[in-house]
Structure 1
């Protein structure tokens, strides 16, 4: 059975509970187990995604939020990972248009209906994007999340490593041992290049 990791950025615990319930009901009858984590602060969300990855991030957009706005957090997440599935939730459908700027999968209106949660869950499961291992690297003072599956090879020149992916070359100064520890066959590819 698949485990789908969903991270929710929502400062209102009651709203987060209703959202989680809608997704749990939507998952009934599917061969998937949900792991839903609610974050009330942007920093804890970012740390969690960096450490554990995520299959779907749902961000709340509130008119008078005390915390960092979900759209701003989504823009930061897009700098890390351009393919990370994002969705927004709000009590006002006027915000839906903002999802296009960060390629959000969907926009949910509170209170979230089980049918809407099921539709989004289906989109994530059908995309095949879930369960992709990734490493986090700092390149040119920007933190990026690089899916391991997209890494073609890595080369090392003195203290600098260049990670070659299917769509970009990423220079970084991380230790080669950290790249090799990320798995996914990177160790053998990088060793061949360096040997």
Structure 2
């Protein structure tokens, strides 16, 4: 899978170094990273950026990285934060925001690679437990088990989540989310991606979800969808 890495760093050289380290590390371990760089905490906190891991400089202008992490943790307790800083005295405060690690500038590749092993394990666990969804009200962290299904209408995705009266609406690609959500989810048509753990009834024409919604198989996806649902019911997924 492709992991989304967010680098929040106002020094372009430091940001470029981290980006190159991620590329090199990905080649060495067989992983893929999609990297976005932001220059300030305000950009980071505007709710439009999602990530599987955040590399956060503490010495940012305006709102510093530690303050930004404290704000982030009010709505996101899951995404790992790695502080990248020359301010080593902040290390103790990092525990208050459940920071995964600290890297002290200038960061060498050897130090980066050593610490990324732990980060990869955390991201792997998170990929199976929760996803981040960037809504207009800010990024929502949603447990994977609570997602009932995702549908696309025109270019908007609608995330139907257990316990939510209205779906979460964002711009996006259903194909991209299919790759991100993994084996627990099944594409039953061009418009619908369902959580097989939330399927209550399987019929020849389609499925009934846990919220009562009936969704139809498309002709081209029916055979593969039925096979995936059978494997899931048999415990092989």
| Superposed pair shares fold, TM > 0.5 | yes
Closer/same/farther in 2, CA of residues 75 and 150 from structure 1, 3 Å limit: farther
Number of aligned residues: 169
Judged with a 3 Å threshold, the aligned counterparts in structure 2 of structure 1 residues 152 and 21 are, in CA distance, closer, same or farther, namely closer
Q: Deviations over 1:128-154 (max 9, x none)?
A: 12485333579xxx956232414277x
The higher relative CO (CA closer than 8 Å, separation ≥ 6) is in: 1
Specify every segment of 5 or more residues in structure 2 that has no aligned partner in the other structure, as ranges: 149-159, 178-192, 199-207, 214-237
| Cα offset, 1:188, TM superposition | 2.1
Question: Alpha carbons of 1:120 and 1:145: their partners in 2 closer, same or farther (altered >3 Å)?
Answer: farther
Distance 2:9 2:30 in 1: 27
**1:4/1:188 Cα in 2 relative to 1: closer, same or farther (>3 Å)?**
same
Where in structure 2 are the equivalents of 1:1-195 lying within 5 Å? 2-47=1-46, 50-51=47-48, 53-62=50-59, 65-127=60-122, 128=124, 129-130=126-127, 132-135=130-133, 145-151=140-146, 163-164=162-163, 175-176=166-167, 178=169, 185=195, 188-191=209-212
Relative to structure 1, the CA distance from residue 67 to residue 24 in structure 2 (aligned partners, 3 Å threshold; closer, same or farther) is farther
- Per-residue deviation, 1:67: 2.9
**Structure 1 residues 52 and 189: CA distance shift in structure 2, 3 A:** farther
Q: Quick one: structure 1 residues 111 and 175, their matched pair in 2 at CA, closer, same or farther if it must change by over 3 Å? A: same
CA contact (8 A) 1:11 1:67 kept: no
> Alpha-carbon deviations, 1:11-39, whole Å to 9, x = none?
11111112222333333321111222110
SS of corresponding position for 1:53: coil
**Residues 95 and 118 from structure 1, CA distance in 2 versus in 1: closer, same or farther, beyond 3 angstroms?**
same
Cα distance in 2 between the residues matched to 1:44 and 1:103: 21
Change (3 A) 1:69 1:163: farther
Cα 1:143–1:23 change in 2 (3 A) is closer
RMSD between aligned alpha carbons? 3.3
Unaligned runs of 5+ in 1: 154-160, 165-171
1:24 and 1:84 map into 2 onto residues whose CA distance is 20
Q: Structure 1-normalised TM-score? A: 0.70
Distance 1:58 1:26 in 2: 15
Bigger radius of gyration among the two:
2
